[in-house]
């Protein structure tokens, strides 16, 4: 069985936002409310007068120990066998506990007005019928068809890399086990599956 | 690292937490009093029915807050405890549902026997019908059991909110054992205050001296304990992780917390009740004021806890362009970075993994 | 872990109850199956070409049919494309929402009677009525052919040149204004082109970042940051392989953020930096001398004439001379070749780069190499440091690193219209790249497959004395420019005797002793004078009274916006037509709006090359869906306009046959059949049909096979770039299209302009220094006033130039998310503090040269030099009908920029002033 994970190489991200657009189109996220499943942050770091610019893509970490799943009372949030933490939007009642539980701010609300707006925007192609909490699904539907998540597929610098931690030959697996790629906030015990290669630029 | 509060559960949820804790604890106290201290139909009616109404309002508020209302059925069915026993909202929903039912059931015989309800149109018809009469008889046979079931489910309702908040790992202010304890103390304290108000202002039974004295004493102890726990929280938040420190900064710089909650919600009622217990007061006014202040404190406690919970993340929350300096008060704040430009992290060369 | 709770599912319960050795936390039960994949069987895939920048990425289009309606649901990079390698950027991904944009024009519109240009007041009409209106206006106002001007945008240039230019010639319209000529293609690029022989460097050179070890980007965010996907996917490999990246930019752009070194140069001083680099490299031998000797004209001998101008030493037959290394014997070299290794007698020759004490015909002569060194002898790193604020030691180090690391790339750069000396800067860049031998070389600049293909054909025809057919399709590089310029600049090419008004105006200016533009090709210099009746040709007014605007938005992206509004509103302007997709800031100023289809609704009328891809391939678009609205295709519009203007549509077919590969008779036949079948856009369809036939024949395959491969893969590969380099590499295998066939340090092209009477440092035959003039009477290093700043602007990653795709809801949402960053005016906190300007404050900017003002909001950041302001030029939209762009805020840069041009190509000098700011 696969154990999907993503590596994000901060040295490669040019802040082009292609992943945000790809995800929105693939997953019909509510662009009209400016809520996204993934963000590319454009962060300025300064010491004194010097400045550095960091582009920081982030998304749901599909934790192995997901607090959002534990607190979910309806069972709408569940972890698939392949490691993806998935939200069943028909079951979810939208109590928002998962949003409070998530340390990574991965969740957002998909409300009645978003459903209405979505029907106008996407017409009969709209995937969902009911409001719910939502988040990145690692494009589980694409992964099921043997494809990469939309963000990974389009990333122009291949800053996002997708793979299987259970496959020792997998590039992502090697990046993670080598320690080059590290997770966020590991001390919280969430056991996330998105790993970052930090900037190694000393210039 | 960026530090931010959340905007999902704010005053609306705080109001529910307040009503839920107070209502449930009222039921527990009323039932236990009626069962073990002295039979007290009036107290049960006030306690259980008020508790029922408070939970009614509270649950309605929760219901309205949902994104997808119809899906609430997924937590109303008791099988949810088999599917998701790790989710405190699942437990809480069950506790609330059963508590509401049981509090009504326990109060039912008293309702039927009460002059007030016998004169109430429509309600009196329902109470007189055969089914209700039969129910009354059954309940009376197993009154203790119903009472205990009501009490236990009420206590469950009281405690689960604290455990729910504790289950969010990213916020130091919430993710500690002090929260369930604090919320439970506060719930019972506000319930006692409410029942005192009922006894003083509504029931007004001269036979209740001792009961009132007991409640006052109990409330005094609970308020005192609450002050101790708040002090412990102060120590904890000011010496713990960054998340905790930011929460501390938010709370201890906010006049609403300092004056509204601490002073008016805890210290002043403590002192009023202390004098009441030790020396006694001439009239009822001081205790009534103390009780009202305790109620106010109960709400503010939860309001501030929801709004002062701080998350630390390696990126700004997506609404990055909205920020205020901390001095302006907690209820205007979503981001806590006193910077000239909310995107900029000053002073440190940032490390990716903390 | 406080939130973990042992889950007592049936399975776990038994496990737990049967021996609990340590109550370890049990994993929660997981469901077995993944959610079902979305119904793939209803999805269809087709291939197209993205329309949002010059990368021309190949895309894969997914459509889905539900309830009988076929909709485009997703765009992705075409995985079969070696151009963009299966990737596309945010604009590409969002592109389908342009097709479904609710603000689109849905039918033809005519201006409401009584309303003024500037008011977006139109009424919907049928196509018939629209054409009748145009025909009536044309006839009534008796608009002569030379009184028409075509205004084209980038889309119409790249995709519809094969119709636009024949249209111009068929209707005898000598006037085309097209962006981005004065913005980049003619300005900066021309500098590079003069050395390499290209026409349009960023459409003809794709640097091989994959194999480069050192990448130097000067004033260039467009390649990486803005995003040119075909470049970025290669740059990603460079980063992964540990290439060193240096970015020279006044601001911390997306590119600079990825660089190992960000050199925050003072704006307007790129030339100083580049010259210092060049001098260092020449002086210290950081160059591939074998390459330079052999393939460039650095060994040519030159002398200084009485006026101090460098002239080439030539024999009686005008052939160049060079000295032999070691012996100093002077020999004659062939006039046109790629190699200096044989003289005109066919004898082996080893030319010297440096020759001392040479005399020829009584004059002292030196090599171009030596002349170039002399020309920039004062351009030391110390000198550059003073103006650029880059330390001299850094400049020396960069010169050393670049010059000794091979392969290396100095990225050619894009937007040249910032300063009058950018063209020279790009020449110097090209020289620097050449010094490393990095022209058409792995890890260096690599010419596109198309360029190589055309060049091979060109050189073959030249060698055999043959005439090339279809010059628009076959002429490579500068040859193409020459053809176009010759066509439009000579009045004798037209029966009415008028050249383009740009040329007429240049002649008028020159005769009056006023500043004149040497090559006003496809430029707007002189347009205003023509409209106002101030331009004379042969004693008569040369008026401009009608405009046809195709996919262009000059009110927003030419300079200034007031200038263009004035021109379009002028009472002499009789008729303005535009072909457009969305309401832009230009559409309120026209009389007739013709709705265009979007790229996803279109099967292209042509088969195209694969853009700047180093591999040779052909590609086209297949319409993913039927047009949503009553829209038109450009070729059909041009055909109908031909009928209206000339009364003879067959002239268009004939012009096309002369210039492109489409035979007139075949096209006419096909057109007739399409018409009879009742198809929409019959001319476009006919051209596509014939194009398929012609291309299939050239490729040596059948139409069916070509169609099959294009449907299945989106691209039809012809040759791999490494193979092309072996036969057509310039200059190693073939001469390039410069007049001498070599890479030209001594520019024959500028020599030619000089001979026409163009004087001044812009026309220097060698690289030379002249400063940008941002200060009225001060040099750039003198202190600025407290509220005074230098100015620079650039693109966002999300919006194409000044286009309407800021209205795309996905793009608009991203821009809104990062609104402060994208729409704010970037100011350094130090300067802002001095002016008591806080983050988010409303400010007024004033151009100290022209007095123009604009409003903005302060964005405080240390990512910009303290002496500089930066604005993203994608915003400041004024037309409320562009509902999502309007109200986004931002500052329209062309409100602050006056119409000032440099004298070579009328390139805009859009940053040569300072700005003052104040709190609003």
Asked if residues C320 and C332 have their Cβ atoms less than 8 Å apart, the reply is yes
pLDDT (average), residues A164-177? 97
Residues from chain B contacting residue A102 (CB–CB below 8 Å): 170
Asked if residues A44 and A167 have their Cβ atoms less than 8 Å apart, the reply is no
- Whether the pLDDT of residue C10 is over 70: the answer is no
**pLDDT at res. B85:** 94
B64 reaches A (C-beta below 8 A): no
Asked if residues B3 and B311 have their Cβ atoms less than 8 Å apart, the reply is yes
B168 and A56 within 8 Å at the Cβ level: the answer is no
**What share of chain B in percent tops pLDDT 70?**
90
Cross-chain CB nearest to C74 (options A25, A32, A49): A25
Helix, coil or strand: residue B82:
helix
Mean pLDDT of chain C: 93
**pLDDT at res. C912:** 97
**pLDDT at res. C588:** 98
pLDDT (average), residues C125-136? 98
Q: How far is CA C21 from the centre of its chain?
A: 71
Separation CA C171–CA C166 (nearest Å)? 8
Count of beta carbons in the 10 Å neighbourhood of residue C645: 23
**What share of chain A in percent tops pLDDT 70?**
98
Cross-chain CB nearest to A145 (options C3, C40, C66): C40
Contact residues, A window 67-96, toward C, CB-based 8 Å cutoff:
67, 69-71, 78-82, 84, 86, 88
Predicted model pTM: 0.93
Count of beta carbons in the 10 Å neighbourhood of residue A201: 14
**What are the structure tokens assigned to C446, written together?**
């690599």
10 Å CB burial of residue B36 (0-12, 13-18, 19+) is: exposed
**pLDDT at res. C158:** 84
Q: For the segment B278-321, what is each residue's pLDDT rounded down to a tens digit?
A: 998 988 999 999 999 999 999 999 999 999 999 988 887 764 43
**pLDDT at res. B206:** 87
10 Å CB burial of residue C147 (0-12, 13-18, 19+) is: buried
pLDDT (average), residues C88-98? 97
C30 and A36 within 8 Å at the Cβ level: the answer is no
A53 and C5 within 8 Å at the Cβ level: the answer is no
Q: How far is CA C260 from CA A160, C216, C242, C257, C523, in A?
A: 21, 10, 10, 8, 39
Residues from chain C contacting residue B318 (CB–CB below 8 Å): 817
Q: How confident is the model at residue B23 (pLDDT cuts 50, 70, 90)?
A: very high
**pLDDT at res. A45:** 79
Cross-chain CB nearest to A144 (options C34, C93, C813): C34
pLDDT (average), residues C808-834? 94
DSSP character at residue C543: -
**Taking the domains of chain B in order of start, what are their residue ranges?**
2-315
Count of beta carbons in the 10 Å neighbourhood of residue C382: 13
- Whether the pLDDT of residue B323 is over 80: the answer is no
Asked if residues A78 and C30 have their Cβ atoms less than 8 Å apart, the reply is yes
DSSP character at residue A157: T
**pLDDT at res. B112:** 93
What is the longest distance spanned by two Cα atoms in chain A?
54
User: Which residue in chain C has the smallest CA separation from A125?
Assistant: C66
Separation CA C73–CA C39 (nearest Å)? 13
Residues 6+ apart with CB under 8 A from C578: C548, C549, C550, C552, C586, C587, C590, C592, C593, C594
B86 and C5 within 8 Å at the Cβ level: the answer is yes
Q: For the segment A62-94, what is each residue's pLDDT rounded down to a tens digit?
A: 999 999 999 999 999 999 999 999 999 999 999
Core vs surface per residue C386-420: b (16+ CB within 10 A) or e = ebbbbebebbbebbebbbebbbbbbbbbbbbbbbb
Interface size between A and B, measured as CB pairs under 8 A: 160
Separation CA C645–CA C642 (nearest Å)? 5
* Residue keyed to tokens 């100093």: C328
CA angle centred on C741, ends C737 and C746, rounded to 5° = 100
B353 and A67 within 8 Å at the Cβ level: the answer is no
Specify the higher pLDDT residue, B282 or C101: C101
**pLDDT at res. A201:** 64
Residues from chain B contacting residue A97 (CB–CB below 8 Å): 87, 89, 164, 168
> Which helix (DSSP H) or strand (DSSP E) does residue C312 occupy?
strand C310-312
Residues from chain B contacting residue C1 (CB–CB below 8 Å): 169
**pLDDT at res. C633:** 96
HEC secondary structure over C161-219: HHHHHHHHHHCCCCCEEECCHHHHHCCHHHHHHHHHCCCCHHHHECCCHHHCCEEEEEC
Residues 6+ apart with CB under 8 A from C797: A14, A15, A16, A17, C89, C90, C225, C226, C227, C254
Separation CA B83–CA B68 (nearest Å)? 20
Q: How far is CA A1 from CA A86, A161, A167, C440, C764, in A?
A: 17, 19, 9, 48, 69
Strand C853-860 and strand C825-827: the pairing is parallel
Which one of C33, C34, C43, C796 makes the best mutation probe of the A interface by having the most chain A beta carbons within 10 Å? C34
Cross-chain CB nearest to A43 (options B67, B68, B315): B315
Beta bridge partners of C359: C364
- Whether the pLDDT of residue A125 is over 90: the answer is no
Q: Which of C460, A91, C911 is nearest to B67 (CA)?
A: A91
How far the first Cα of chain B sits from its last, in Å, is: 9
Q: Which of A55, A54, A90, A87 is nearest to A71 (CA)?
A: A87
Which one of A10, A12, A17, A24 makes the best mutation probe of the C interface by having the most chain C beta carbons within 10 Å? A17
Asked if residues C433 and C598 have their Cβ atoms less than 8 Å apart, the reply is no
Strand B344-346 and strand A77-79: the pairing is unpaired
Cross-chain CB nearest to B67 (options A45, A132, A182): A132
**pLDDT at res. B336:** 41
Separation CA A67–CA C220 (nearest Å)? 45
Q: For the segment C624-633, what is each residue's pLDDT rounded down to a tens digit?
A: 999 999 999 9
**pLDDT at res. C320:** 97
Count of beta carbons in the 10 Å neighbourhood of residue C490: 14
**pLDDT at res. C190:** 93
Residues 6+ apart with CB under 8 A from C190: C416, C423, C426, C519, C904, C905, C907
Contact residues, C window 91-150, toward A, CB-based 8 Å cutoff:
91-94, 96-97
Contact residues, C window 430-469, toward A, CB-based 8 Å cutoff:
none
Residues from chain A contacting residue B347 (CB–CB below 8 Å): 46-47
**pLDDT at res. C599:** 97
Separation CA C870–CA C878 (nearest Å)? 21
**pLDDT at res. C26:** 31
C2 and B321 within 8 Å at the Cβ level: the answer is no
User: Which residue in chain B has the smallest CA separation from C8?
Assistant: B82
A95 and B89 within 8 Å at the Cβ level: the answer is yes
- Positive or negative: CA dihedral C642, C648, C653, C657: negative
Contact residues, A window 21-60, toward C, CB-based 8 Å cutoff:
21-22, 24-26, 31-32, 34, 36, 39, 42, 44, 46, 49-55
User: Which residue in chain B has the smallest CA separation from C7?
Assistant: B85
Q: How far is CA B189 from CA B157, B159, B192, B221, C729, in A?
A: 15, 13, 5, 9, 88
Interface size between A and C, measured as CB pairs under 8 A: 186
- Whether the pLDDT of residue C20 is over 70: the answer is no
Separation CA C721–CA C453 (nearest Å)? 11
Residues 6+ apart with CB under 8 A from B59: B16, B96, B100
Interface size between B and C, measured as CB pairs under 8 A: 34
Q: How far is CA C487 from CA A177, C168, C472, C608, C652, in A?
A: 65, 10, 12, 23, 16
Asked if residues C121 and C591 have their Cβ atoms less than 8 Å apart, the reply is no
Separation CA A81–CA A83 (nearest Å)? 5
Q: For the segment B196-244, what is each residue's pLDDT rounded down to a tens digit?
A: 999 999 999 888 999 999 999 999 999 999 999 999 999 999 999 988 9
Whether this model's ipTM surpasses 0.90 comes out as: yes
Residues 6+ apart with CB under 8 A from C211: C407, C442, C443
How would you classify residue A173: left for phi > 0, otherwise alpha for psi between -120 and 50, otherwise beta?
A: alpha
Separation CA C671–CA C38 (nearest Å)? 42
DSSP character at residue C762: G
B69 reaches A (C-beta below 8 A): yes
User: Which residue in chain B has the smallest CA separation from C840?
Assistant: B341
- Distance from the Cα of B162 to chain A's closest Cα (Å) equals 13
Separation CA C113–CA C123 (nearest Å)? 9
Helix extents (H) in C208-300: 229-240, 254-258, 270-284, 289-295
* Neighbouring subunits of C (3+ Cβ pairs under 8 A): A, B
**pLDDT at res. C9:** 34
Q: How confident is the model at residue B16 (pLDDT cuts 50, 70, 90)?
A: very high
- Distance from the Cα of A45 to chain B's closest Cα (Å) equals 5
Separation CA C552–CA C179 (nearest Å)? 8
Quote the strand ranges of C457-574, DSSP E: 536-537, 540-541, 546-550
C821 and B85 within 8 Å at the Cβ level: the answer is no
Helix, coil or strand: residue C859:
strand
**pLDDT at res. A202:** 56
Which one of A51, A93, A109 makes the best mutation probe of the B interface by having the most chain B beta carbons within 10 Å? A93
Residues from chain C contacting residue B166 (CB–CB below 8 Å): 2
Q: For the segment C315-371, what is each residue's pLDDT rounded down to a tens digit?
A: 999 999 999 999 989 999 999 999 999 999 999 999 999 999 999 999 999 999 999
10 Å CB burial of residue A74 (0-12, 13-18, 19+) is: buried
Task: Return the CATH fold of B2-315.
Answer: Formate dehydrogenase/DMSO reductase fold (1.20.1630)
**What share of chain B in percent tops pLDDT 90?**
79
- Whether the pLDDT of residue C7 is over 70: the answer is no
B340 reaches A (C-beta below 8 A): no
**pLDDT at res. C38:** 54
pLDDT (average), residues A98-104? 96
pLDDT (average), residues C272-291? 98
pLDDT (average), residues C291-299? 98
């Amino acid at each position: 069985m696969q154990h999907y994970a993503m590596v994000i190489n901060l040295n490669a991200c040019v802040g082009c936002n292609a992943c945000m657009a790809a995800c929105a189109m693939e997953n019909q996220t509510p662009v009209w409310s400016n809520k996204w499943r993934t963000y590319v942050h454009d962060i300025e770091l300064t010491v004194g007068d010097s400045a550095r610019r960091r582009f920081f893509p982030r998304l749901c970490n599909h934790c192995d120990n997901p607090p959002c799943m534990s607190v979910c009372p309806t069972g709408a949030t569940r972890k698939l066998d392949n490691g993806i933490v998935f939200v069943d939007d028909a079951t979810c009642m939208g109590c928002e506990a998962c949003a409070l539980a998530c340390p990574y701010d991965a969740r957002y609300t998909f409300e009645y007005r978003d459903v209405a707006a979505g029907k106008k925007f996407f017409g009969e192609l709209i995937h969902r019928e009911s409001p719910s909490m939502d988040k990145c699904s690692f494009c589980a539907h694409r992964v099921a068809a043997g494809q990469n998540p939309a963000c990974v597929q389009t990333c122009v610098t291949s800053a996002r890399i997708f793979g299987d931690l259970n496959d020792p030959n997998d590039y992502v697996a090697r990046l993670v086990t080598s320690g080059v790629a590290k997770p966020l906030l590991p001390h919280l015990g969430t056991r996330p599956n998105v790993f970052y290669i930090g900037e190694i630029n000393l210039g | 690292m960026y530090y931010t509060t959340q905007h999902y559960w704010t005053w609306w949820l705080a109001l529910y937490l307040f009503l839920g804790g107070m209502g449930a604890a009222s039921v527990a106290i009323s039932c236990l009093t009626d069962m073990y201290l002295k039979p007290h139909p009036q107290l049960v009616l006030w306690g259980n029915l008020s508790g029922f109404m408070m939970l009614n309002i509270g649950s309605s508020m929760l219901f309205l807050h949902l994104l997808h209302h119809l899906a609430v059925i997924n937590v109303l069915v008791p099988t949810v405890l088999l599917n998701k026993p790790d989710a405190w909202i699942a437990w809480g929903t069950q506790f609330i549902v059963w508590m509401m039912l049981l509090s009504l059931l326990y109060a039912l015989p008293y309702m039927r026997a009460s002059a007030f309800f016998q004169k109430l149109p429509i309600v009196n018809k329902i109470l007189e019908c055969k089914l209700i009469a039969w129910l009354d008889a059954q309940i009376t046979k197993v009154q203790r059991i119903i009472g205990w079931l009501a009490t236990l489910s009420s206590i469950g309702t009281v405690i689960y909110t604290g455990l729910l908040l504790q289950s969010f790992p990213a916020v130091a202010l919430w993710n500690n054992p002090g929260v369930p304890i604090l919320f439970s103390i506060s719930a019972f304290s506000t319930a006692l205050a409410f029942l005192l108000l009922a006894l003083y202002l509504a029931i007004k039974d001269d036979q209740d001296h001792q009961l009132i004295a007991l409640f006052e004493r109990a409330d005094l102890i609970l308020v005192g304990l609450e002050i101790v726990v708040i002090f412990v929280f102060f120590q904890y938040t000011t010496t713990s992780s960054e998340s905790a420190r930011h929460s501390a900064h938010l709370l201890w710089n906010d006049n609403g917390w300092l004056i509204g909650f601490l002073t008016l919600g805890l210290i002043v009622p403590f002192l009023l009740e202390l004098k009441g217990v030790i020396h006694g007061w001439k009239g009822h006014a001081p205790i009534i004021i103390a009780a009202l202040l305790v109620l106010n404190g109960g709400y503010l406690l939860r309001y501030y806890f929801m709004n002062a919970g701080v998350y630390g993340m390696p990126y700004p929350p997506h609404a990055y362009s909205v920020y205020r300096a901390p001095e302006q008060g907690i209820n205007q704040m979503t981001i806590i970075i006193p910077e000239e430009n909310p995107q900029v992290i000053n002073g440190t060369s940032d490390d990716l993994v903390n | 872990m406080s939130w973990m709770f042992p889950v007592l599912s049936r399975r776990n319960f038994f496990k737990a109850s049967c021996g609990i050795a340590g109550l370890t936390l049990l994993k929660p039960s997981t469901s077995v199956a993944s959610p079902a994949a979305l119904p793939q069987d209803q999805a269809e895939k087709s291939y197209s070409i993205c329309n949002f920048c010059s990368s021309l990425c190949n895309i894969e289009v997914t459509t889905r049919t539900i309830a009988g309606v076929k909709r485009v649901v997703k765009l992705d990079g075409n995985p079969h494309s070696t151009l963009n390698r299966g990737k596309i950027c945010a604009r590409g991904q969002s592109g389908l929402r342009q097709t479904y944009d609710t603000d689109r024009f849905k039918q033809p519109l005519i201006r409401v009677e009584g309303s003024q240009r500037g008011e977006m007041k139109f009424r919907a009409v049928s196509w018939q009525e629209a054409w009748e209106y145009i025909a009536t206006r044309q006839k009534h106002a008796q608009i002569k052919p030379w009184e028409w001007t075509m205004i084209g945008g980038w889309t119409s240039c790249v995709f519809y040149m094969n119709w636009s230019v024949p249209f111009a010639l068929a209707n005898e319209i000598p006037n085309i204004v097209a962006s981005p000529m004065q913005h980049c293609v003619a300005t900066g690029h021309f500098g590079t082109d003069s050395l390499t022989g290209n026409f349009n460097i960023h459409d003809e050179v794709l640097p091989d970042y994959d194999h480069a070890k050192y990448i130097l980007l000067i004033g260039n965010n467009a390649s990486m940051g803005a995003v040119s996907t075909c470049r970025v996917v290669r740059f990603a490999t460079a980063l992964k392989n540990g290439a060193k990246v240096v970015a020279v930019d006044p601001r911390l752009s997306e590119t600079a953020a990825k660089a190992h070194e960000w050199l925050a140069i003072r704006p307007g001083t790129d030339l100083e930096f580049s010259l210092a680099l060049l001098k260092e490299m020449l002086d210290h031998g950081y160059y591939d001398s074998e390459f330079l000797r052999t393939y460039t004209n650095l060994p040519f001998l030159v002398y200084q004439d009485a006026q101090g101008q460098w002239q080439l030493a030539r024999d009686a037959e005008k052939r160049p001379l060079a000295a032999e290394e070691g012996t100093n014997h002077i020999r004659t070299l062939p006039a046109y070749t790629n190699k200096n290794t044989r003289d005109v007698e066919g004898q082996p020759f080893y030319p010297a780069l440096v020759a001392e004490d040479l005399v020829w015909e009584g004059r002292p002569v030196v090599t171009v190499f030596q002349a170039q060194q002399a020309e920039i002898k004062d351009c030391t790193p110390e000198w550059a440091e003073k103006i650029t604020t880059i330390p001299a030691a850094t400049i020396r180090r960069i010169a050393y690193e670049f010059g000794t690391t091979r392969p290396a790339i100095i990225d050619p750069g894009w937007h040249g219209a910032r300063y009058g000396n950018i063209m020279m800067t790009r020449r110097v860049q090209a020289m620097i790249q050449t010094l490393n031998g990095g022209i058409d070389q792995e890890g260096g600049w690599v010419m596109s497959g198309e360029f190589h293909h055309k060049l091979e054909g060109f050189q073959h025809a030249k060698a055999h004395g043959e005439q090339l057919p279809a010059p628009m399709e076959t002429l490579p590089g500068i040859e193409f420019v020459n053809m176009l310029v010759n066509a439009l600049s000579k009045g004798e090419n037209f029966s009415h005797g008028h050249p383009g008004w740009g040329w007429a105006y240049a002649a008028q200016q020159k005769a009056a002793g006023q500043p004149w533009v040497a090559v006003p090709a496809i430029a707007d210099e002189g347009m205003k004078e023509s409209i106002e009746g101030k331009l004379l040709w042969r004693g008569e007014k040369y008026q401009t009274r009608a405009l046809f605007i195709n996919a262009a938005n000059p009110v927003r992206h030419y300079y200034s916006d007031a200038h263009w509004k004035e021109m379009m509103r002028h009472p002499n302007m009789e008729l303005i037509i535009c072909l457009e997709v969305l309401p832009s800031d230009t559409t309120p100023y026209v009389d007739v709006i013709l709705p265009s289809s979007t790229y996803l609704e279109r099967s292209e009328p042509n088969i195209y090359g694969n853009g700047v891809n180093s591999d040779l391939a052909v590609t086209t678009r297949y319409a993913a869906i039927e047009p949503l609205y009553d829209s038109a295709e450009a070729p059909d519009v041009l055909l109908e306009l031909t009928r209206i203007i000339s009364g003879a549509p067959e002239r268009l077919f004939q012009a096309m046959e002369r210039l492109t590969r489409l035979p007139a008779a075949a096209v006419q036949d096909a057109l007739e059949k399409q018409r009879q079948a009742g198809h929409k856009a019959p001319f476009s369809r006919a051209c596509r049909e014939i194009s398929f036939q012609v291309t299939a024949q050239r490729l040596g395959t059948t139409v069916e096979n070509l169609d099959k491969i294009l449907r299945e893969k989106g691209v039809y590969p012809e040759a791999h770039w490494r193979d092309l380099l072996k036969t057509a590499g310039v200059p190693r295998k073939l001469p390039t299209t410069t007049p001498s066939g070599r890479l030209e340090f001594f520019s024959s092209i500028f020599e030619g302009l000089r001979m026409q009477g163009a004087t001044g440092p812009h026309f220097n035959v060698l690289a030379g220094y002249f400063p940008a003039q941002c200060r009225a009477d001060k040099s750039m290093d003198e202190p600025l006033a407290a509220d005074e700043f230098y100015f620079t602007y650039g693109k966002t990653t999300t919006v194409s130039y000044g286009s309407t795709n800021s209205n795309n809801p996905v793009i608009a949402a991203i821009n809104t998310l990062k609104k402060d960053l994208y729409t704010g005016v970037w100011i350094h906190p130090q300067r802002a503090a001095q002016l008591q300007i806080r983050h988010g404050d409303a400010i007024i900017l004033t151009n100290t040269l022209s007095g123009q003002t604009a409003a903005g909001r302060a964005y405080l950041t240390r990512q910009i030099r303290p002496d500089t302001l930066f604005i993203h030029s994608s915003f400041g939209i004024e037309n409320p009908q562009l509902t999502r762009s309007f109200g986004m805020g931002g500052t329209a840069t062309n409100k602050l920029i006056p119409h000032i041009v440099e004298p070579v190509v009328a390139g805009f000098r859009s940053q040569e002033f300072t700005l003052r700011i104040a709190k609003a």
